[in-house]
Structure 1
Amino acid sequence: MPALPLLSLSSPGRAGRRQRGRFTLGALLAVLVLAAGAAGAWWLVSQPPRIERRAPVEPPAPLVDTVLAQRQAAAPSLHGFGRVIAEREAHLASRVSGELLEFTDAALPGRVVEAGSVLARLDDADLRLALREAEAALAQAEAALAMERGEQQRAETEYRSFGRELSAERRALVLRQPQLHQAEAEVERARAARDRARLELERATLTAPWRGMVQSRLLGSGSMVNNGTELLHLVDVSRFWIRVSLPGEALGWLHAADANGAGSGVTLSTRTWPGGETRRGEVIAILPALEEQGLQAQLLVAVDDPLGLDNGAAALRLGDMVRLEFEARPQDDLFVLPAAALRPGDELWLLDEEERLRRRTVSVIHRGETRVLIADGLEDGERVVTSQLGQPRTGMRLRSRIADSERPAGERRESRS
């Protein structure tokens, strides 16, 4: 027989009440969990952050280079550039008129001629004739003077035989003294004319007034020249000059030659000399006018035997650009520092005993390309900072490299070995 379904003993009302009880308990637990989370979050948010404080780490002090300040005798390094010019040159001109016959072999441009050397000859035929005429006129005047002296002797004899005394004026007329003076004057005039004709004949031959080099010929043979026509350009080879410009402050370190002694020495060099050869010169003058463009002082430097004709040295040519190194007079009690040590406003950075930066203004008497000379504002043994700093502050801590100049003498020798 078929099985009969079992009847549930529980009623619908009891089951509903059991479901409602579980829902209420779960909701309560959820609310409690949310409330606890909100309370915890509020507590975390309300609490200030706790940061563990640590002692700040001091950055390492910058490492700088220093030099020791020491008083010593020093002079600046003065140099400049100058152009070579001739101390003495001449444009030899004809002093008579005539035809230029020839230049001698000595008058070739570039040759050195001695004083008195014949350089050119002019046609002197007319001058020789003029000299002969002058000599004849002189002979005629001398003959007339001799005849007049004879007449004077005859007049004097007659005056004595007359036996009467005359006044001085009448006696001079009787003795023919005016005629005698006139004859003597004619002789002097004729002699001067003879000497002038002889001098013009000598001037028809052009000679060198001093030892020099022929720079150029200005005319050719066969040219007709007048008195004053230039024929040759001659340059003295015994000495050349160099005109150089320097700042005005450099004059205090140099001196020009005078009766008491020689001027400051100068070393000359130029690119045209092989093997770095140099020449010696001397400051002979400080010119009164300033250079027009840079308003710098101008000096003259003299170089003896510039072409090296006697000493065999490198030749110094006219117009060449030369570099000059001057030997300045040293001064005592100066501080010599690298140029990098000087800061704007003539200020130095010093490193004190506590390894801290100090600033000091000093008195600078020379600023060079590589070094500066300081007169006051430092003491012996102070350390001067030569390195650059990004943000220098007075009192900031620094570290100094032990420069070789700061080591004791014994340690310097050991370090080199």
Structure 2
Amino acid sequence: MSRPLAPRPLAPPRPRPSRQRGRLSLGPLLALLVLAGGLTVAWWLMSQPPRVERRAPPPPVPPLVEAVTVMPRAVAPDLHGFGRAVAEREAHLASRVAGRLEPFAPGVLPGRLVEAGAPLAQLDDADLRLALREAEAALAQAEAALAMEQGEQQRARAEYQSFGRELPAERRALVLREPQLRSAQAEVERARAARDRARLDLERTTLVAPWSGMVQARLLGEGSEVSSGTELIHLVDVSRFWVQASLPGEALAWLTPAGADAPGSAVTLTSRGWPAGGQREGELLSVLPTLEESGLQAQVLIAVEDPLALDAEHRGEPSLRLGDVVRLDFQAIQRDDLIALPAAALRPGDEVWVLDEEERLRRRTVSVLHRDDRQVLVAEGLEAGERVILSPLGQPREGMALRTAPTPDERPAGAAPAEARP
């Protein structure tokens, strides 16, 4: 059996060398020196004024603008508006006698054409035929009474002549039965008028078309009891329609209404409801004497011949129907020596900006004859060959320098107009 080892005794600690008193360490001294040097350098930097090299500012770049060169020429404004188609002539045909409505004539249907004088409707005429026979009998009786009275007058005249004595005019008229003869003649005239009235009433049982047109509506049906003045058929003349439109009052100076021997200004009609490219031609007929109530604009009438395109001349053209709302493009009168500018060129106060020979802005007040959302027509204030600025400017000043952008013909396809920028 082995014995446990006895622990060794620990060695005594070694004594540390003692520092010498009276000597400073080198590390803190170096740190103080570095700190002092840094503070000295910082004080020197802060005490020196900053030195900035001053350079002349670059010259400002003039704004880039777009301009057009103007030339006087014969030009007319673009005048357009909207109007609604109305009937030039229509009639509500009514019965002039009382009776029971018989079946309408064949072909008398809404949307069908009827010729002038064609029978449209018929009333029961049995009572009126009897009334005509009675009137004719009364006339025959009155004529017989007149013949008898004429015989009596001849007999009285023979007796008076055989008497051989002249009587005063009043007594002679009584003796010759002149009052009785005049009364018999009046009865004949009265009976003849009654016969003619009965015959006319019988003719009026047949309702005829006063002119060629299209049936718009049948207002009553077969078997209806109608009285005098009852409307039966609505007829519309389709040979020509009117389009009523409103225009600003100043637009009338560019248009010519139709006269007795001269046509009016041509008008082109288009509608969204028509096929692509479809249009109709019209003529400015007249200017109405009243203004439109809402906008106080002038009202005009445009005539359109054969609006339903029924004739061979207009076959294939779109049909203009009553109530259609159409766009109207008027052919205005051209005027010489006018300058046409884009609408963007006109500034507030009828002013334009012109580029002089030194590429500087000049303000110019012009006389405007017409303006719309697309162009402006100038009569005075510009000369041929001058350049008018189209681009907007933030702070325009008289005489400010500008740069011109390429004209629309010089710009690449699809390039946007130049915007003014500093």
Scaled to the shorter chain, the TM-score interval is 0.7 to 0.9
- Aligned equivalent of 2:160: 159
RMSD (Å) for aligned C-alpha atoms: 2.7
For residues 24-55 of structure 1, give each alpha carbon's deviation from its aligned partner in whole angstroms, at most 9, with x where no partner exists.
xx9xxx9xx97xx68x966x767665444433
- Aligned equivalent of 2:321: 317
Map 1:327-406 onto structure 2 (within 5 A): 327-403=331-407
SS at match of 1:316: coil
Deviation at 1:220, TM superposition (A): 0.7
Once residues 189 and 140 of structure 2 are traced to their aligned partners in structure 1, the CA distance between those partners, rounded to angstroms, is 11
SS at match of 2:196: helix
- Aligned equivalent of 1:191: 192
Deviation at 1:60, TM superposition (A): 2.9
Q: Kindly provide the amino acid, as one letter, of the partner of residue 336 in structure 1.
A: A
- Aligned equivalent of 1:3: none
- Check if 1:78 corresponds to 2:82: no
Map 1:79-94 onto structure 2 (within 5 A): 79-94=80-95
Deviation at 1:331, TM superposition (A): 2.2
Deviation at 1:388, TM superposition (A): 2.1
SS at match of 1:123: coil
The percentage of counterpart residues that share the same residue type is: 68
Deviation at 1:381, TM superposition (A): 1.0
Deviation at 1:57, TM superposition (A): 1.6
For residues 313-362 of structure 1, give each alpha carbon's deviation from its aligned partner in whole angstroms, at most 9, with x where no partner exists.
32110111111111112222211000111112222111110011111222
Deviation at 1:289, TM superposition (A): 2.1
Once residues 47 and 359 of structure 1 are traced to their aligned partners in structure 2, the CA distance between those partners, rounded to angstroms, is 54
Q: Greater shift after overlay, 112-121 or 263-272?
A: 263-272
Map 1:279-318 onto structure 2 (within 5 A): 279-310=280-311, 311=313, 312=315, 313-318=317-322
Once residues 261 and 287 of structure 1 are traced to their aligned partners in structure 2, the CA distance between those partners, rounded to angstroms, is 18
Contact 1:111 1:213 in 2 (8 A): yes
SS at match of 1:287: strand
Q: Kindly provide the amino acid, as one letter, of the partner of residue 323 in structure 2.
A: G
Contact 1:351 1:385 in 2 (8 A): yes
SS at match of 1:146: helix
Deviation at 1:150, TM superposition (A): 2.0
Map 1:147-296 onto structure 2 (within 5 A): 147-296=148-297
Once residues 261 and 165 of structure 1 are traced to their aligned partners in structure 2, the CA distance between those partners, rounded to angstroms, is 75
Deviation at 1:89, TM superposition (A): 1.1
Once residues 339 and 190 of structure 2 are traced to their aligned partners in structure 1, the CA distance between those partners, rounded to angstroms, is 78
Map 1:9-28 onto structure 2 (within 5 A): none
- Aligned equivalent of 2:420: none
For residues 217-273 of structure 1, give each alpha carbon's deviation from its aligned partner in whole angstroms, at most 9, with x where no partner exists.
111100100011111111111211111111222122223223352222111111222
Deviation at 1:404, TM superposition (A): 6.0
Count of residues in correspondence between the two structures: 381
What stretches of structure 2 of length at least 5 have no aligned partner? 1-21, 24-28, 411-422
For residues 60-87 of structure 1, give each alpha carbon's deviation from its aligned partner in whole angstroms, at most 9, with x where no partner exists.
3232221112222222111111111111
Once residues 162 and 309 of structure 1 are traced to their aligned partners in structure 2, the CA distance between those partners, rounded to angstroms, is 83
Contact 1:106 1:118 in 2 (8 A): no
Once residues 332 and 173 of structure 1 are traced to their aligned partners in structure 2, the CA distance between those partners, rounded to angstroms, is 90
SS at match of 1:138: helix
The alignment's TM-score, normalised by the length of structure 2, stands at: 0.83
SS at match of 2:103: strand
Contact 1:351 1:383 in 2 (8 A): yes
Deviation at 1:158, TM superposition (A): 2.1
Once residues 41 and 95 of structure 1 are traced to their aligned partners in structure 2, the CA distance between those partners, rounded to angstroms, is 123
Once residues 158 and 80 of structure 2 are traced to their aligned partners in structure 1, the CA distance between those partners, rounded to angstroms, is 88
Once residues 275 and 154 of structure 1 are traced to their aligned partners in structure 2, the CA distance between those partners, rounded to angstroms, is 92
SS at match of 1:101: coil
Map 1:23-102 onto structure 2 (within 5 A): 49-102=50-103
For residues 267-300 of structure 1, give each alpha carbon's deviation from its aligned partner in whole angstroms, at most 9, with x where no partner exists.
1111222231111111222222222222222111
SS at match of 1:196: helix
Q: Greater shift after overlay, 245-254 or 350-359?
A: 245-254
- Aligned equivalent of 1:132: 133
Q: Kindly provide the amino acid, as one letter, of the partner of residue 379 in structure 2.
A: A
Once residues 166 and 54 of structure 2 are traced to their aligned partners in structure 1, the CA distance between those partners, rounded to angstroms, is 148
Contact 1:65 1:403 in 2 (8 A): yes
Q: Kindly provide the amino acid, as one letter, of the partner of residue 332 in structure 2.
A: A
Q: Kindly provide the amino acid, as one letter, of the partner of residue 185 in structure 2.
A: E
SS at match of 1:198: helix
SS at match of 2:394: coil
Contact 1:212 1:236 in 2 (8 A): yes
Once residues 384 and 261 of structure 2 are traced to their aligned partners in structure 1, the CA distance between those partners, rounded to angstroms, is 37
The alignment's TM-score, normalised by the length of structure 1, stands at: 0.84
Once residues 84 and 130 of structure 2 are traced to their aligned partners in structure 1, the CA distance between those partners, rounded to angstroms, is 50
SS at match of 2:301: strand
- Aligned equivalent of 1:409: none
